[in-house]
Structure 1
Amino acid sequence: MIMVLLDGILRLALLLATLWGALALGHRLALPRAWRGLVVALWLLAGSIWLWLAWQGARLGPLAAMAVQMIALLAWWRRLTPAKDLAWAEDVAYLATGDVEGQRLTLHRVRHFDWQTPNAARGGWERRVYDLRRLDSVDLFVSSWGRPGIAHVLVSFGFSAEGAAEEEFVAFSVEVRRERHERFSEIGGFFKQYELAIIAADERDAVRLRSNVRGERVTLYHVTLPPEARRDLLLALVAAANDLERQPRFYHTITANCTTLVFAMMRRIIEGLPLDHRLLLSGLLPGYIHEHGGLVHGYSLHELRRLGDITERARQAHDAPDFSRRIREGVPGWASPDRRP
């Protein structure tokens, strides 16, 4: 019985190693497509041979052969390094670098695109200065496109207005830093295909792109962090972006994405936050936050989701200068102008 179990484990390991190696080579081998396809085919052929021999009862031979292949593959894999200067796509051309002097936060590249289509926009990047003493809110935008559990998360920080001015918001997005010719692939995100980016953007850019241009469903959740934690989270995002500017990292679909990166920061700010499967499925993140008391009290998760669905309001307020105020109408935590949760 034990030998049957060990044979099963061996065959499964050979199968997984074969598939992983083929995907890694297919996504990252720097060869013309035809040559890359040939290498992948040879890898699959070799793995199939070792797997066939294992099914015939051989153990040591297939295991040793695959071990040699994997050692060579992993030696190449570890030498892959993220790039800093490439021909980046326009929407990820700059990272959200910033610095703090006293109570003043300066973000050097805040994106303010006016999107015409999912791939074309007017606008650019600008330097913006924020008074940290006026930081008074954190919101979570969850943008989904119909795939269960899968969504993109934005973290937006609000600064109270001076005089008659509107409250000012800046949204942070952790995403892939694609080259101009690249398209996003969730599978490629497992195989060092993209660098990691932290982008700062105007809400009329980052939110409208998803709700109004891409046609995604966007839900807003007001997060009830204490003032010091709000500030710490904002500065942690800026520090992480500064670090990326100095030392690039690879994006990873699970371990370095829009949810797990922010969670790692929050875990340093709030002790005792447990790991949870919902951290791997961004669309389920609000349930995790609600369970740990991070959303507006007195509402069920279903009510927060229903009242926080801003999709239609965002479309109606498309060109409105007070876009951020209008999408928050009726959202728990933002129900009245003088709210201070």
Structure 2
Amino acid sequence: MNRTRVIFLKIFKCLLAIWIFGLIWFNGPIAGHNLWNPLLAILWLIALILVISKLPAGKAMMSGQLAFFVLPVAVFSLIRPSNHRDWQVSSSRTPYATLTGNLVTVHEIRSFDYDADGNEIPHWSTRTYNLENLVAMDVFMTHWKSDYAGHPLFSFDFGAEGHLAFSIEARLEKDESYQLLSGLYRRYELIYIACEESDAVRARSHYRDNESVHIYRTIASPQQARARFMEFVRTMNQLREKPRFYNILTSNCTTAVRSQMDGGFPMDWRIIANGKLDELLYERNILETAGLSFAQLKERSYLDPLVIGNPGKERYSSRIRDGRPGF
């Protein structure tokens, strides 16, 4: 084995060891015991180091290392996604759509309301939309403390029939909280939540202190908006029949959309660092800009709750668009 191959093998084993350490830490075999899985990960790493350092070079050491690497990967490969778990209320129903000609009936639309303290008032609905009435597509961008961390929501304007939004999320069970690195290890399922703007957007713009929301209209024609809408519907229905895992790199709120698009979308680092997605869409001339720079557009697109007040469910979609560029 030449020197280059030896170096490559060592790097590969090091990266694999780091990945397996994270696998055991974040999605280990001891369910419901968050302290035990990290301890097991540490013990696994210590044992691996002992095997490498104590066993003599040769077949014995290779066999020992192989066992330490293969067993966790084999167990990981057996983990399967499911739509049937004890889900948190916000993602407890699996939405789907049925089509009859130009009519699309969307079932299990999340239509939550919120009390004065921001507590959820659960409600789901079923609505029918005529694709001939689809006139535009909008994008909401949620940002947290970092400009590099965000969450997009995609909304479709059916005129008098109202708006229907999609939020692509990690589906959490009742005893789970979202952890970024857990999203590498089949910890969460992927869900397409069909929702009202007064639910998913309003929760972020008015009731979550650590989130800011911007609204943008895209330049999509009615025909293009229809194509994008049907991609969401198709993927949503596929997930109902065949669930998939959420992954922070390959199947998150932006990469999942990229993968579902007919014809694809050029890869860009801002699809991963998705807090910058609105900047990317601006540069690709996908947003209505009204001749503004990106900084100006972002400033005027901010849904400031102090400015727009707190309109109820019926007025929310129209109120947040008043005076915004492109509307």
Contact 1:21 1:43 in 2 (8 A): no
1:231 matched to which residue of 2? 226
Contact 1:314 1:327 in 2 (8 A): no
1:51-62 paired onto structure 2 within 5 Å = 52=53
1:324-335 paired onto structure 2 within 5 Å = 324-334=317-327
Contact 2:213 2:303 in 1 (8 A): yes
**Structure 1 pair 38/302, CA: closer, same or farther in 2 (3 Å)?**
closer
* 1:297-324 Cα distance to aligned partner (Å, 9 max, x none): 5332222211111133676134363111
**Structure 1 pair 75/184, CA: closer, same or farther in 2 (3 Å)?**
same
TM-score using structure 2 length: 0.89
Contact 2:170 2:188 in 1 (8 A): yes
Distance 1:252 1:119 in 2: 29
Deviation at 1:10, TM superposition (A): 4.7
Contact 2:27 2:37 in 1 (8 A): no
* 1:98-128 Cα distance to aligned partner (Å, 9 max, x none): 1111111100111111134898411310111
**Structure 1 pair 154/43, CA: closer, same or farther in 2 (3 Å)?**
same
Deviation at 1:7, TM superposition (A): 6.0
Deviation at 1:50, TM superposition (A): 5.1
Q: Give the residue type in structure 1 aligned to 2:315.
A: D
1:265-280 paired onto structure 2 within 5 Å = 265-266=260-261, 268=262, 271=263, 273-280=265-272
Alpha-carbon RMSD across the aligned residues, in angstroms, is: 2.6
Q: Give the residue type in structure 1 aligned to 2:198.
A: R
2:215 matched to which residue of 1? 220
Distance 1:97 1:252 in 2: 21
1:243 matched to which residue of 2? 238
1:82-161 paired onto structure 2 within 5 Å = 82-116=81-115, 120-161=119-160
Q: Give the residue type in structure 2 aligned to 1:241.
A: M
Aligned partner of residue 135 in structure 2, secondary structure: strand
**Structure 1 pair 44/272, CA: closer, same or farther in 2 (3 Å)?**
closer
Distance 1:188 1:260 in 2: 17
Aligned partner of residue 93 in structure 2, secondary structure: coil
**Structure 1 pair 93/279, CA: closer, same or farther in 2 (3 Å)?**
same
Distance 1:76 1:178 in 2: 22
1:282-297 paired onto structure 2 within 5 Å = 282-297=274-289
Aligned partner of residue 23 in structure 2, secondary structure: helix
Aligned partner of residue 138 in structure 1, secondary structure: strand
Distance 2:246 2:117 in 1: 21
Contact 2:308 2:320 in 1 (8 A): no
Contact 2:26 2:37 in 1 (8 A): no
**Structure 1 pair 239/118, CA: closer, same or farther in 2 (3 Å)?**
farther
Asked if residue 171 in structure 1 is aligned to residue 165 in structure 2, the reply is yes
* 1:44-73 Cα distance to aligned partner (Å, 9 max, x none): 11232356579xx96987665433322222
**Structure 1 pair 77/320, CA: closer, same or farther in 2 (3 Å)?**
closer
Asked if residue 208 in structure 1 is aligned to residue 202 in structure 2, the reply is yes
Deviation at 1:204, TM superposition (A): 0.7
* 1:211-233 Cα distance to aligned partner (Å, 9 max, x none): 11112110111111122221111
Distance 1:152 1:275 in 2: 18
Unpaired segments ≥5 residues, structure 2: none
Distance 1:330 1:52 in 2: 67
Aligned partner of residue 321 in structure 1, secondary structure: helix
Aligned partner of residue 74 in structure 2, secondary structure: helix
**Structure 1 pair 70/156, CA: closer, same or farther in 2 (3 Å)?**
same
Contact 1:143 1:152 in 2 (8 A): yes
**Structure 1 pair 109/47, CA: closer, same or farther in 2 (3 Å)?**
same
Q: Give the residue type in structure 1 aligned to 2:91.
A: V
Distance 1:59 1:279 in 2: 45
Q: Give the residue type in structure 2 aligned to 1:273.
A: F
Contact 1:50 1:65 in 2 (8 A): yes
Deviation at 1:6, TM superposition (A): 6.0
Distance 2:13 2:118 in 1: 41
Q: Matched residues, percent identical? A: 29
Aligned partner of residue 182 in structure 1, secondary structure: coil
